[in-house]
Structure 1
Amino acid sequence: MSVDLRGGDWLDDNRANWDERVPVHVASTFYDRARLREGGSVLDPITRAGVQQLFPDGLDGVRVLHLQCHFGSDTLSLVNAGATAVGLDFSEPAVVEARRMADELGVADRARFVQANIYDARHVLPEPESFDLVFTTWGTIGWLPDVAEWARIIEWFLAPGGRLLFADGHPAAFVFDGDGGPDGMPQFAYPYAAGGPEVIDDPSDYADPDARIQHTRTWEWMHPLDEVLGALRDAGLRIESFTEHYEVPWQIFPVTVPKGDGMYGWPDRRWLPLSYEVVAAAPRTRAGE
């Protein structure tokens, strides 16, 4: 199925859904920003450890581009740690809240938020090779029809030697849903290599089980591991590490249980990975240099 990356029903439906989620998420305990207001971080343990490994001396002077930043809590966590950051998201209410929070924290001089479709990023941020870190985590590429273009956008913005830190739910877990299997386990629901979007009609919200979204229709894409890793390599990035994890920072299935620090995992055995993490690097020199 051919999709116009610059617009269409998929983008309109997904944006309307996420616009409506913003006030729900801002009011929820799931997105508690107390630590952010204290000058700290709300990064989950996986990405927090990833950032620390990439920048063991800290983030002072590090230039970050956060793609699909929602209302900027992770972006501002990086800023609180010393970075200068640009956050980009397609939802206007999310960007308005991110800017408001940056003002509240007194870091608006180091945190810039831009409202745009990710596929328009080169046009709204004409700053090629400007960032030491491109950061994009949790619930991102499943909303995108084309990860090859996503990878090319990341490569465009990375400075020579800059890194991508990417973490998301594992596509092997995304083929399952619900609790209809034996012992309340999830059951097969979606193909691993769908080749097109799943158009889903669902009023629920992961951050507030009592909330009901009015703009219920969303378009979501499954991106197998070989597609994602291949897209990054084809864009000219070098895969430095690939790690599978058995926890995620939300209750992905009813059977998963709290593991501490906001993470959820299997109650007993590691049945299959629930998330994965990729670090990729831009070349230290560009073609023609």
Structure 2
Amino acid sequence: MVDLRDGDWLDDNRANWNERVPVHLASGFYDSSPLRAAGSVLDPIVAAEIAELFPDGLDGKRVLHLQCHFGSDSLSLVNLGATVVGLDFSRPAVQEARRMAAELGVADRARFIEANIYDARHILPEPESFDLVFTTWGTIGWLPDVAEWARIVSWFVKPGGRFYFADGHPTAFVFDGDSAADGMPAFAYPYVSDEPDIIDDPGDYADDEAVLENSRTWEWMHPLGEVMAALREAGLRIDMFREHLQVPWRMYPVLVEKGSGMFGWADQQWLPLAYSLVAAHPAPDAAR
């Protein structure tokens, strides 16, 4: 049993993400100029689905962004009208998020908290208080217990509120594109495993030249069935599920640019690269 609040897995992953913060801030991958122009850096998948989910906009909506990194997407939601609480376990990331919120003049609508996600209910004791809980791209793979994650998500979603989630597809995560000479993905990780993959990789997706000193990470595979069962068992109703053939980073070397920061297959659509879902807490009268 993994200790969710302490241990090598948490120390190693936090050190890795702490070191990534200055790398990401210096890279073109995280371009903050749209935020400074009161715009959004949400990728096309997320932007379209959030607009679909809230056709009247986010004005007056209260959002909790879990595992928010340094808040670029959090501040995008603020620029779209929401009031946002962002949570991340990296102190440098949270410090940068707070700095950027102050620079943009939106600190009154963007609060950032440094915390392990598994401590969220103790750090932020506001049950059923958010219209939207939001989590996207490269999040649950760093977490050992997706059932507890789902309970935390559910605890914060108010009746009638929604949870929005987008991430790399677990079937795509069984492959490693760096291990083949032609760049095509090759089998590397099991789809079903109770054990973490402990990976020593000094590279970074946002900067091909980066060499990280804190290169050891602990990552877990969470199959689709596990994720959706965890959300349902936590009391949420799954209202939407979609698979996508593009992702907002070059998951494998063989993927090609598709525009707007997205990457996908050049010709044959070999397998889905991402998925998204919406889950809801039914309003009290809808549960009758």
Alignment deviations for residues 99-138 of structure 1 (CA, whole Å, 9 cap, x no partner)? 0000000000000000000000000000001100000000
- Which residue of the partner structure matches residue 97 of structure 2? 98
Alpha-carbon separation, structure 1, partners of 2:274 and 2:223: 12
Spell out the pairing of 1:26-41 with structure 2 (5 A cutoff).
26-41=25-40
Helix, strand or coil for the counterpart of 1:10? helix
Between the aligned residues of both structures, percent identity stands at: 72
TM-score (norm 2): 0.98
Corresponding letter in the other structure for 1:223? H
Corresponding letter in the other structure for 1:177? D
- Which residue of the partner structure matches residue 272 of structure 1? 271
- Which residue of the partner structure matches residue 236 of structure 1? 235
Q: Is the 8 Å Cα contact of residues 89 and 116 (structure 1) preserved in structure 2?
A: yes
Helix, strand or coil for the counterpart of 2:213? coil
Spell out the pairing of 1:140-179 with structure 2 (5 A cutoff).
140-179=139-178
Displacement after TM superposition at 1:180 (Å):
4.4
Q: 1:179 to 1:13 in 2, by over 3 A?
A: closer
Alpha-carbon separation, structure 1, partners of 2:238 and 2:57: 22
Displacement after TM superposition at 1:184 (Å):
3.2
- Which residue of the partner structure matches residue 65 of structure 1? 64
Displacement after TM superposition at 1:142 (Å):
0.2
- Which residue of the partner structure matches residue 3 of structure 1? 2
Q: 1:216 to 1:180 in 2, by over 3 A?
A: closer
Q: 1:161 to 1:256 in 2, by over 3 A?
A: same
Q: Is the 8 Å Cα contact of residues 69 and 88 (structure 1) preserved in structure 2?
A: yes
Displacement after TM superposition at 1:179 (Å):
4.5
- Which residue of the partner structure matches residue 51 of structure 1? 50
Spell out the pairing of 1:111-260 with structure 2 (5 A cutoff).
111-181=110-180, 183-260=182-259
Alpha-carbon separation, structure 1, partners of 2:182 and 2:201: 25
Displacement after TM superposition at 1:283 (Å):
2.1
Q: Is the 8 Å Cα contact of residues 116 and 124 (structure 1) preserved in structure 2?
A: yes
Corresponding letter in the other structure for 1:28? S
**Structure 1 residues not aligned, in runs of 5+:** none
Q: Is the 8 Å Cα contact of residues 179 and 255 (structure 1) preserved in structure 2?
A: no
Q: Is the 8 Å Cα contact of residues 161 and 283 (structure 1) preserved in structure 2?
A: yes
Q: Is the 8 Å Cα contact of residues 183 and 252 (structure 2) preserved in structure 1?
A: no
Alpha-carbon separation, structure 2, partners of 1:38 and 1:157: 31
Displacement after TM superposition at 1:50 (Å):
1.1
Alpha-carbon separation, structure 2, partners of 1:6 and 1:127: 20
Question: Which has the higher mean CA deviation after the structures are superposed, 132-141 or 177-186?
Answer: 177-186
Paired positions, count: 288
